[in-house]
């Protein structure tokens, strides 16, 4: 919590020093305040009040949807090309599969992990959700029971690739050095099947790969951009860098990835940098980095490009905005008002909505995010609720919202998705859309700029309030600039930025379930013959599922004793030798304990209890097994 509050304080301080928007200072200089309202303007406002709920703005649009699936190893030859962003799991799309060798004992599979290469790195391979290592790294052999069974070779997707993914065993048909897959991060796996062998694969295991995705253009690392420093250039992908910032990924997606001698676009939109409001994206990236908001996941070339832009911006705490042919953006952050809208600045009929629809005005959101703890599945975090809003509403109004590019690393709490959900809740309570036709001097204001409405009765409920510009329209014929606005409540920012996420519960845990003690079950010590150096135990005659008997060495601390191999007792009334010849040597006292076993889950051993070697048949009624309860 302290870390989150510290970040919130830093972001508020940074935002307080930033004039909103990249070109708004000119507009702020032109603003005048304190002008008396004219009767004509007042009547225009009063006559133009309208609910306007059918007016859609970019900041009240539906949440983004992208179709990328990260965990399924698919085999669709017509599938779209995946694009991987940030550090995330890659499922792989199978593009080649052939059996070869004697009796087709080898099965070779080539999977595409991401287009728009090269990606930054492939760091880990998973088989059936378990990490595995290959001798020689990611281009090597994985042994099963000491035998070579799986081979793997990877590439990051350089364009062009210096060589193809050469098989490490056998010669797959129709796979030649001409199949380089330049520009694609890919992996080649070969599996060996041998029905007559002692150690063999019986089915194709499920594979996944953890990696770091495509390279991006970061204006902050471009010395040709004002304030930038570094070799990064928007029109030279060889200078691009790895980034986990959603806004840097978004501006890169807008530019697109171009490959080959003729610079063919293979992914993204394909916009010229002149059509992008770069200062707005730089500001948004700085705020997202200060908040530690990251973006990662998978989209495909078949996804709607605007939906991809929205999903990347959503992970960065905002949304993209279009001004005709110009792409800009808005990020949630504390704002300082840089101008005032006076009553005499309104020169046409206004439309003011004092609230959003009841359906959208929620007081709680259950956010869905990608969890590394759940092997990169989309899971719901704990519901984020604003108790003040709920008290005002008199009942709980919640909905589930997906944040497809928001991830939570293993062992951490999903604070980012909780903070983004909090912002969505707070923004849903703001009044809007507010459409005001204004004089041409408001031409310099853009989306994200904060203005103040003059405290005049004609403005009604929005009088004296701060507002955020969400859209701007220019009407040359009427010499009018129409701004679409939304109210801005400063108190929402510290509340949203202080949220701590509640992770989804773990349902696939290897931790043993709790055991409870049941009445003692007798295990009888039947032989402790020092001459034969054996220790034997008879199981009860009553039915049982299984007991494991543990023996330790000559120590009164069973935990530190060197144990004799545990033996499972699973037949009623049977005598089991639990310590064999050679294991009882030169020691007159041993310590033993028992554990109850059910469905391959064992309790902790109960003990220790001492046994004297050579004392003959001794029944120890205090030996007790524990039985798992229904809880």
72, part of any domain: no
pLDDT at 395: 92
Rounded CA separation 203/194 (Å): 11
Same domain, 177 and 242: no
Q: Is 478 left (phi over 0), alpha (psi -120 to 50) or beta?
A: alpha
353, part of any domain: yes
293, part of any domain: yes
Rounded CA separation 284/302 (Å): 27
Domain coverage including residue 302 = 215-327
* Percent of the chain with pLDDT strictly greater than 70: 69
pLDDT at 27: 34
Region 421-439: what's the mean pLDDT? 94
Whether the CB-CB separation of 336 and 16 falls below 8 Å is answered with: yes
Same domain, 559 and 604: yes
Q: What is the pLDDT of residues 93-111, one digit of tens each?
A: 999 999 999 888 899 999 9
Name which of 138-147, 218-227, 294-303 the model is least confident about: 138-147
Tell me: cis bond preceding 608? Omega within 30 of 0 counts. yes
Rounded CA separation 420/577 (Å): 62
Region 216-223: what's the mean pLDDT? 98
553, part of any domain: yes
Same domain, 297 and 414: no
Same domain, 357 and 266: no
Please check the confidence at residue 503 and state whether its pLDDT lies above 50: yes
Rounded CA separation 547/423 (Å): 55
Please check the confidence at residue 498 and state whether its pLDDT lies above 90: yes
Same domain, 385 and 493: yes
Same domain, 601 and 569: yes
Whether the CB-CB separation of 586 and 617 falls below 8 Å is answered with: no
pLDDT at 514: 42
Nearest to 349 by CA among 434, 430, 447, 432: 434
How would you write 432-468 as a 3-class SS string? Answer: CCEEEEECHHHHHCCCCCEEEECCCHHHHHHCCCEEE
Region 117-122: what's the mean pLDDT? 96
Q: Which residue has the higher pLDDT, 247 or 52?
A: 247
The count of other CB atoms within 10 Å of the CB of residue 621 is: 9
245 pLDDT band, cuts 50/70/90, is: very high
Token couple for 365? 């959101």
Region 334-356: what's the mean pLDDT? 90
Domain boundary pick from 163, 196, 213: 213
Whether the CB-CB separation of 609 and 623 falls below 8 Å is answered with: yes
Domain boundary pick from 327, 353, 376: 327
512 pLDDT band, cuts 50/70/90, is: very low
Region 2-30: what's the mean pLDDT? 40
Same domain, 345 and 279: no
Instruction: List, in sequence order, every residue forming a beta bridge with 574; answer none if it has no partner.
Output: none
479 pLDDT band, cuts 50/70/90, is: confident
Looking up residue 580, the CATH number of its domain turns out to be: 2.60.40.10
Same domain, 426 and 478: yes
Domain boundary pick from 327, 360, 385: 327
Same domain, 375 and 454: yes
Whether the CB-CB separation of 540 and 571 falls below 8 Å is answered with: no
Token couple for 264? 């063919």
pLDDT at 546: 52
The total number of structural domains in the chain stands at 4
The count of other CB atoms within 10 Å of the CB of residue 35 is: 13
Rounded CA separation 94/146 (Å): 28
Whether the CB-CB separation of 625 and 540 falls below 8 Å is answered with: no
Please check the confidence at residue 534 and state whether its pLDDT lies above 70: no
Region 456-475: what's the mean pLDDT? 91
Q: What is the pLDDT of residues 581-617, one digit of tens each?
A: 444 444 444 445 555 454 555 445 444 444 444 443 3
Report yes or no on whether pTM surpasses 0.75: no
502, part of any domain: no
Rounded CA separation 378/60 (Å): 24
Name which of 303-317, 423-437, 579-593 the model is least confident about: 579-593
pLDDT at 9: 46
Whether the CB-CB separation of 509 and 531 falls below 8 Å is answered with: no
pLDDT at 613: 45
Q: Is 336 left (phi over 0), alpha (psi -120 to 50) or beta?
A: beta
Same domain, 319 and 355: no
Q: What is the pLDDT of residues 321-340, one digit of tens each?
A: 988 789 999 999 999 999 99
569, part of any domain: yes
505, part of any domain: no
594, part of any domain: yes
Q: Which residue has the higher pLDDT, 383 or 146?
A: 383
DSSP reduced 3-state for 135: strand
Name which of 17-21, 504-508, 609-613 the model is least confident about: 17-21
73 pLDDT band, cuts 50/70/90, is: confident
Same domain, 321 and 271: yes
**Mean pLDDT for the chain overall:** 78
Same domain, 185 and 94: yes
What Å distances lie between residue 347 and 42, 236, 438, 470, 479, CA to CA?
10, 47, 6, 19, 10
Region 555-568: what's the mean pLDDT? 48
pLDDT at 235: 95
Rounded CA separation 183/257 (Å): 10
Token couple for 442? 């408001």
Please check the confidence at residue 405 and state whether its pLDDT lies above 80: yes
Element (H, E) at 3: helix 2-16
As a dihedral over the C-alpha atoms of residue 67, residue 73, residue 79, residue 81, rounded to 10 degrees, the angle is: 70
């Amino acid at each position: 919590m302290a870390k989150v509050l510290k970040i919130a304080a830093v972001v508020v301080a940074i935002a307080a020093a930033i004039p909103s928007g990249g070109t708004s200072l000119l507009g702020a200089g032109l603003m005048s305040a304190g002008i008396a309202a004219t009767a004509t303007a007042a009547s225009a406002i009063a006559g133009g009040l309208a609910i306007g709920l059918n007016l859609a703005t970019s900041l009240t649009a539906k949440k983004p949807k992208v179709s990328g699936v990260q965990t399924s190893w698919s085999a669709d030859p017509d599938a779209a090309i995946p694009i991987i962003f940030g550090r995330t799991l890659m499922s792989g799309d199978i593009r080649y599969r052939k059996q070869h060798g004697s009796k087709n004992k080898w099965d070779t599979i080539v999977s595409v992990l991401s287009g728009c290469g090269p990606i930054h790195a492939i760091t880990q391979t998973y088989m059936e959700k378990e990490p595995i290592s290959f001798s020689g790294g990611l281009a090597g052999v994985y042994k099963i029971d000491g035998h070579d069974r799986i081979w793997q070779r990877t590439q990051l997707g350089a364009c062009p690739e210096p060589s193809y993914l050469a098989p490490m065993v056998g010669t797959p048909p129709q796979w030649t050095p001409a199949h380089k897959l330049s520009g694609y991060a890919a992996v080649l796996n070969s599996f060996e099947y041998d029905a007559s062998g002692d150690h063999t694969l019986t089915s194709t295991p499920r594979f996944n790969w953890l990696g770091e995705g495509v390279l991006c253009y970061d204006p902050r690392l471009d010395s040709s951009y004002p304030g930038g420093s570094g070799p990064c250039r928007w029109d030279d992908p060889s200078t691009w860098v790895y980034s986990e910032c959603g806004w840097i990924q978004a501006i890169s997606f807008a530019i697109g990835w171009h490959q080959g001698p003729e610079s063919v676009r293979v992914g993204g939109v394909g916009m010229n940098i002149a059509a992008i409001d770069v200062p707005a994206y730089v500001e948004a990236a700085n705020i997202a980095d200060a908040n530690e908001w990251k973006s990662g996941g998978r989209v495909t070339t078949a996804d709607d490009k605007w939906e991809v832009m929205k999903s990347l911006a959503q992970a960065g705490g905002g949304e993209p905005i279009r001004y005709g042919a110009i792409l800009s953006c808005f990020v949630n952050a504390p704002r300082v008002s840089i101008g005032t809208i006076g009553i005499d600045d309104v020169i046409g009929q206004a439309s003011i909505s004092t609230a959003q629809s009841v359906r959208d005005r929620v007081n709680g959101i259950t956010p869905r995010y990608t969890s590394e703890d759940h092997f990169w599945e989309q899971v719901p975090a704990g519901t984020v609720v604003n108790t003040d809003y709920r008290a005002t509403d008199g009942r709980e109004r919640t909905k589930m919202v997906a944040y497809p590019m928001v991830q939570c690393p293993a062992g951490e709490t999903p604070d980012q998705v909780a903070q983004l959900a909090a912002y969505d809740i707070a923004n849903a309570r703001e009044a809007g859309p507010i459409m005001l036709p204004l004089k041409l001097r408001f031409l310099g204001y853009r989306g994200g700029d904060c203005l103040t409405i003059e405290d005049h009765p004609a403005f009604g409920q929005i009088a004296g309030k701060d507002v955020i510009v969400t859209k701007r329209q220019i009407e040359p014929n009427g010499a009018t600039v129409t701004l679409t606005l939304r109210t801005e409540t400063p108190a929402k920012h510290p509340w949203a930025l202080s949220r701590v996420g509640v992770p989804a519960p773990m349902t696939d845990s290897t931790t043993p379930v709790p055991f409870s003690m049941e009445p003692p079950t007798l295990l009888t010590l039947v032989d402790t013959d020092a001459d034969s150096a054996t220790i034997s135990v008879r199981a009860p005659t009553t039915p049982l599922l299984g007991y494991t008997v543990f023996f330790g060495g000559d120590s009164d601390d069973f935990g530190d004793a060197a144990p004799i191999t545990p033996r499972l007792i699973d037949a009623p009334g049977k005598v089991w030798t639990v310590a064999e010849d050679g294991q009882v040597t030169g020691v007159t006292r041993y310590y033993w304990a028992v554990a109850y076993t059910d469905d391959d889950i064992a309790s902790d051993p109960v003990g220790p209890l001492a046994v004297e070697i050579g004392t003959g048949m001794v029944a120890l009624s205090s030996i007790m097994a524990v039985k798992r309860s229904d809880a």
